[in-house]
Chain A
Amino acid sequence: MPPAADELINAISDAVGSLVSVGAITASADNDRFEAYVWSIVIRAAIAENAVVTYRDPDKNEVYDLLFRTSPGSISSKVQPFTHALIQFPVKPDLEAHIGIKIQGKSRVPHECDVVVLPSAEADTCRVTNTHPRHSSIVIAAECKYYYSNLPFRLSREFLGLCKEMRAVDCYFAVNTSKESVEKVLAYYRCHCETLVLPSASGSETLLHAFRKAFRDFKRLN
């Protein structure tokens, strides 16, 4: 005889409880992992477009163990040896991919960006002068959201605000879930929006192709 609904609910709750005790369902940690996952898609896209990618600390030493921020900070910070990827296309300016750094928007106010690709020259200038990179230098700015429910509608308004402060063409909204109304608003304003970005879902491949196009455009223009 199959178990009754109440028994299944008890079993679900017990399984969830044991997983919570080992660190599951921590929204901030799930968001941090998701940002790292989207960053890894940027790296895959760069490699697919024939870049050589290495991982570096702020002093440009090559590293193999990656260290990421749990909250946004400054690209010039040396409090911890946070990792970025150095992306090198043949005979093109070097690029860097960072997680969780601040970017100076059109209003000149710094904004937190989850995943950012920018020229190494801009990053070097900011590390030396202790400033934030300018929005005009950005190649990719991805806003990453990991949600357990479908997307809250307010996220579309927040992303439209980011697009207004950066160059909209460089901004990508990458989320693990979806919501028709959010997608509709972002489609209306012609924003890059990739839903269902997960290891086994189609959104990751779509996002990979969008990033590859951004890198191809960068190579054409530089």
Chain B
Amino acid sequence: MSIPEQEIRRLFDKLATQLRERGAGTVVDQVIDEIAQGKQIIYKTLRRKSQVRQLYRPENDEATTDRSGRREYAETLQYSAAERLDLLLQALERAIIDAGAIDSELVKNYRSVRFVPEQEEENVRTFRAGALTPNIKELEDLKAHIAGLRALVEG
């Protein structure tokens, strides 16, 4: 049995709030931007009504009108509540699991990779490849919890 939409919205809000509290606000912010941007653009072909007077637009792009006077309009579809929650889970997978895979790949291919700022005052951003690699157990736990939540939401 799938979870009602209102309950999924509550789960999204709860997860987003807890992620912010635990220092993963960037993930939440990016997902909220993505939700605002919309899911997908679809195109609708509409017939022009002959009685509707058109504004004169000499710069009109003829490609949007065919010979029968039909016009193509773009519409942005919005994400459903379940899709929004899944966006957040996907973002977590990219932030932790995929980023960990890239880190491991660098460690596998090179003896040592270090990232440092050019200017000394930026020294907070000094780090080594391999920092994310040893946390295998936490990564596996996270994968299992995300899969469990997906299964619940999808019913």
Contacts and interface: CB of A to CB of B under 8 A. Distances in A.
A40 B106 contact: yes
Interface string A5-48: 11011111111111111111101111011101100100000000
16 contacts: A2-B148, A8-B149, A15-B141, A24-B96, A30-B99, A32-B127, A65-B111, A66-B112, A67-B115, A67-B116, A70-B118, A80-B116, A147-B94, A148-B27, A149-B34, A177-B94
Contacts, number: 188
Nearest to A151: B34
Contacts of A29: 115, 125, 127
Contacts of B81: none
A71 interface: yes
Given A8-B152, A12-B145, A146-B99, 6 more contacts: A16-B22, A19-B135, A25-B27, A33-B106, A65-B112, A70-B117
Interface band, chain B: 35 or more
A70 B126 contact: yes
Q: Is the interface of A mostly helix, strand, loop or mixed?
A: mixed
Interface stretch (B13-21, B47-55, B64-72): B13-21
B22 A5 contact: no
Contacts of A89: none
B111 A16 contact: no
A69 B118 contact: yes
Contacts of A32: 115, 125, 127
Contact of B92 (A12, A27, A68): A12
Minimum-distance CB pairs A-B, first 8: A17-B22, A13-B18, A149-B30, A65-B112, A149-B34, A148-B91, A15-B142, A20-B23
